[in-house]
Amino acid sequence: MAFKAKSAAETKAAELASALVRIADREGAPLQIGVEALRRASPRLTPLAIGQLFRRHRDDLEAALAERGYTLLDYADQGPGRGMEFAIGVDG
């Protein structure tokens, strides 16, 4: 099978998924993960990028969470400056 390079957005989506999984592993699920916790886990993840990545790569994020036994329960984005939050639960 030929190697297919990931786009910058796909790479950043994988980074977001990794940050969500690391936080869920550390804190235990179920939990709410806000943008500040994600920024601490990966400073390259800006609030704008997080929102765009969620909308464009939701399936990839959910698949990465499912691989570790987590599920995305909810995502709330209140708009710029008002906060966003992921609700993560245990799969099953």
For the stretch 10-65, pLDDT in tens is: 788 888 889 999 999 998 878 888 888 888 888 888 888 888 888 899 998 899 98
Q: Is the pLDDT of residue 2 over 70?
A: no
Q: Binning pLDDT at 50, 70 and 90, where does residue 82 land?
A: low
Lowest-pLDDT range, 6-10, 71-75, 77-81?
77-81
The CATH number of the structural domain formed by 8-90 is: 1.10.10
Q: What is the pTM of this model?
A: 0.81
Higher pLDDT, 81 or 15: 15
DSSP 18-70: HHHHHHHHHH-SSEEEEHHHHHHH-TT--HHHHHHHHHHHHHHHHHHHHHTTE
Q: Is the pLDDT of residue 4 over 80?
A: no
The domain segmentation of the chain, as residue ranges, is 8-90
Q: Is the pLDDT of residue 87 over 80?
A: yes
